[in-house]
């Protein structure tokens, strides 16, 4: 990429904040994959908002005599083991998956960001404490940590989001901390300090705007992981409880019928696959465009 890190930092510092964003998005337009992925994400988002209204049938309405029906015009994705319309359930599940992904990433972003800024800015014992805690959490594989947390809190959609969120905190702490470390010693921080600004103001008014870009990009990438992890927990029966239409749980319900009724697994799994893929490409493109420091 063409720009140097200092220039980006300055751009972030300057009053023309919107400018770099627009510039970045213009750069991203050249990346066709990212544009397609962005459109796909927007489409999924649209479905998440209006999907349940578009659903031709009630996603929890059972009709056992017609169970395992193959895809038809009326039920484009067929019916599941209780005769529910899989198309309607996949549509309704979009909202659940988005919701889970956003909340979980939000939890990680908020706590990870705050801890990272505090650790990076103050340094010393506080940094040491937070960093070692993060090291300990990083020692667990992320998903295993999430499973452990759900096991402790009990299954359910809320606990599942908390678990996925908490298990993603360490990565956000690390990212934020390393960025803050580099900004802490820069002139604008010194200037703010010299003019008598309090620590809190320096951290959240002067340093934070500079780490928002990378954090935003990382969050987009992390969203896909969070959605996948939440679906994974539901697949294991630890997340959304029946009859909530959740893609992972739907795939789990279908796995016993995989050979004779593959449509039960195929559609929810494809939905997970597409959404995660779209978020990955989008996050990738966003990073290239907005945060060239991190690209290869």
Q: Which residues sit at the interface with another protein, rule CB under 8 A?
A: 60-62, 64-65, 67, 81-82, 155, 171, 175, 218, 221, 224-225, 228, 237, 241-243, 251, 253, 255-259, 262, 265-266, 269-270, 272-273, 276-277, 280, 283-284, 287, 294, 296
Between 174 and 184, name the residue whose CB sits nearer to another protein. Answer: 174
Between 125 and 139, name the residue whose CB sits nearer to another protein. Answer: 139
d(CA 87, CA 71): 9
Do 51 and 94 form a contact (C-beta atoms < 8 A)? yes
- Cβ 103 to another protein shortest distance, Å: 18
- Cβ 128 to another protein shortest distance, Å: 20
DSSP string, 253-266: HHGGGTTT-THHHH
Between 56 and 242, name the residue whose CB sits nearer to another protein. Answer: 242
Close Cβ partners of 19 (under 8 Å, ≥ 6 residues apart)? 11
- Cβ 206 to another protein shortest distance, Å: 24
- Cβ 273 to another protein shortest distance, Å: 5
- Cβ 62 to another protein shortest distance, Å: 4
Alpha helices in the chain (DSSP H): 5-13, 17-29, 32-54, 86-122, 124-139, 142-153, 157-184, 187-194, 199-201, 208-235, 247-254, 263-290
Between 123 and 262, name the residue whose CB sits nearer to another protein. Answer: 262
Between 6 and 296, name the residue whose CB sits nearer to another protein. Answer: 296
Between 210 and 224, name the residue whose CB sits nearer to another protein. Answer: 224
d(CA 167, CA 108): 8
Residue burial 89-104, b: 16+ Cβ < 10 Å; e: rest: bbbbbbbbbbebbbbb
- Cβ 191 to another protein shortest distance, Å: 30
Do 46 and 62 form a contact (C-beta atoms < 8 A)? no
């Amino acid at each position: 990429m063409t720009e140097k890190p200092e220039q980006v930092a300055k751009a972030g510092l300057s009053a023309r904040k919107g400018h770099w964003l627009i510039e970045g998005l213009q750069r991203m337009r050249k990346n066709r994959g990212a544009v397609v992925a962005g459109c796909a994400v927007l489409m999924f988002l649209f479905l998440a908002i209006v999907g349940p209204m578009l659903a031709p049938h009630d996603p929890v309405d059972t009709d056992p005599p017609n169970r395992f029906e193959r895809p038809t015009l009326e039920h484009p994705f067929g019916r599941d083991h209780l005769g529910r319309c899989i198309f309607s359930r996949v549509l309704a599940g979009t909202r659940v998956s988005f919701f889970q992904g956003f909340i979980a990433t939000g939890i990680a972003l908020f706590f990870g960001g705050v801890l990272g800024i505090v650790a990076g800015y103050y340094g010393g014992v506080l940094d040491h404490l937070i960093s070692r805690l993060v090291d300990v959490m990083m020692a667990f594989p992320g998903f295993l940590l999430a499973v452990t947390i759900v096991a402790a809190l009990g299954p359910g959609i809320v606990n599942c989001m908390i678990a996925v969120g908490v298990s993603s905190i360490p990565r956000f702490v690390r990212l934020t901390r390393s960025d803050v470390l580099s900004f802490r010693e820069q002139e604008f921080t010194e200037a703010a300090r010299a003019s008598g600004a309090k620590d809190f103001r320096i951290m959240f008014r002067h340093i934070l705007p500079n780490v928002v870009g990378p954090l935003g990009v990382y969050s987009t990438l992390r969203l896909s992981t969070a959605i996948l992890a939440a679906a994974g927990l539901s697949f294991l029966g630890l997340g959304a409880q029946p009859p909530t239409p959740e893609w992972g749980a739907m795939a789990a319900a279908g796995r016993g019928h995989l050979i004779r009724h593959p449509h039960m697994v195929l559609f929810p799994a494809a939905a997970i696959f597409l959404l995660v893929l779209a978020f990955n490409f989008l996050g990738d493109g966003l990073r290239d465009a907005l945060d060239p420091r991190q690209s290869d």
